[in-house]
Amino acid sequence: MDLGNNLFSTPFHWSGGVVAITAVVLVVLVGSWVYIELLKWPSTMLWLKYLLIIVFLATVIIGVGYMPVKLTADNERIAVKRLFGPLELSRNEITEIRLITKKTIDGSIRTFGSGGLFGYIGKFKSDIIGKYTMYATELDNLVLIRTKDDKQYVFSCSRPKEFIDYMQHSPSDASLRPDGSGRVDAGNEKGRQEEQQHDDGE
């Protein structure tokens, strides 16, 4: 973690599951590409060959482009660094930041994005917290962020408690400190309450 110049910065840590999913999918894609190249395609079907190659290439390029690389925060914004440009959240728009457990998003439906290839990336829907955007490369250390426009983001963070501590003590927004509105939560109490309410309703 880099706290120089009042900046929080930590790389995204890949879990064994994400590594395995990414490796298997890439092997399948490369193997399929080689198989397609070795086939003798009739001239009338060459369009299908090139279409499949484009799909394979697009899958890898888009996956790598949106893959989360680093989580950073300063006095003005939180950012998820990606090759295709950062996803940035203004701290003035944030209403809540807290840790959540994997149980909070268990059973989520992926509506758009990746379910493990280069991470868990895209739009998801959970019975417990509803719709959210996720950028995660592991599911053990998760942070939930809510904004004024009712959007929700779930990020994995290799140093979640240090991230929460930084947000609590950063001078940019007193309302996000423990002595303000209490919207930064270093524990999982609210998440446990949501999970319990969900379990009671089943």
Q: Is the pLDDT of residue 153 over 90?
A: yes
User: Could you report the per-residue pLDDT of 89-147, keeping only the tens digit for each?
Assistant: 999 999 999 999 999 999 999 999 999 999 999 999 999 999 999 999 999 999 999 99
Matching residue, tokens 């509506």: 111
Check residues 29 and 3 and name the one with the higher pLDDT: 29
- The rounded distance, in Å, linking the Cα atoms of 199 and 193 is 10
pLDDT of residue 178: 44
The Cα angle at residue 64 between residues 76 and 7, in degrees rounded to 5: 20
Residue range 151-179: mean pLDDT, rounded: 79
CB-based burial of residue 101 (10 Å sphere; 0-12 exposed, 13-18 middle, 19+ buried)? middle
**CA distances for 23 relative to 68, 117, 148, angstroms:** 17, 8, 38
User: Could you report the per-residue pLDDT of 61-95, keeping only the tens digit for each?
Assistant: 999 999 999 999 999 999 999 999 999 999 999 99
pLDDT of residue 168: 84
User: Could you report the per-residue pLDDT of 181-202, keeping only the tens digit for each?
Assistant: 445 554 445 555 555 555 555 5
- The rounded distance, in Å, linking the Cα atoms of 75 and 170 is 7
Residue 14 identity: W
- The rounded distance, in Å, linking the Cα atoms of 121 and 130 is 16
Buried b (16+ CB within 10 A) or exposed e, 174-202: eebbeeeeebbbbebebbeebbeebeeee
